[in-house]
Structure 1
Amino acid sequence: MMMFSDEELIEPVESVLDKLRPSILLDGGNISLVEIKGGKVFVRLEGACKGCPSSNVTLKNGIEKALRNDIHPELEVISIN
């Protein structure tokens, strides 16, 4: 059960994304937070990450794992276009 409102999650999620962003930028991509709804973090992959075959691995093994470790183990990352 999530103990935070979606609004309360915005700042910590942005903070984690800011920590990960330099690595993503090195590969020619970027990530933007679109919204948080019901513990689901909706992001938009940009640049070289958009449409990359490895983007799902980046989302689940990188971004989602970091969010779960740093904020809450039930967070889920969903990419939208």
Structure 2
Amino acid sequence: MREKVEEVLNKVRPYLQRDGGDVELVDVKDGVVHVRLKGACRG
């Protein structure tokens, strides 16, 4: 499942980066995805 989540994040990452941010996959546990937003996306 982690690989599939990474694939999806890689598809949306360019849009976040264009806006000055990024996203990091922290964990996938029991069907719950934990991400960390970075840069302009933070908060």
Runs of 4+ in 1 over 3 A off after TM superposition: none
For 2:19, the equivalent position in structure 1 comes to: 27
Task: Among all aligned residue pairs of Structure 1 and Structure 2, give the percentage whose two residues are the same amino acid.
Answer: 53
Where 2:36 maps in the other structure, the secondary structure is: strand
* Aligned pairs for 1:2-81 within 5 A: 9-51=1-43
RMSD: 0.4
- Higher strand fraction (1 or 2): 2
- Higher helix fraction (1 or 2): 1
Number of positions where the alignment pairs a residue of Structure 1 with one of Structure 2: 43
TM-score (norm 2): 0.95
Task: Tell me, in whole angstroms, the C-alpha distance in 2 between the residues paired with 1:29 and 1:38.
Answer: 27
Unmatched segments (≥5 aa) in structure 1: 1-8, 52-81
Unmatched segments (≥5 aa) in structure 2: none
TM-score (norm 1): 0.52
* Greater Rg over alpha carbons, structure: 1
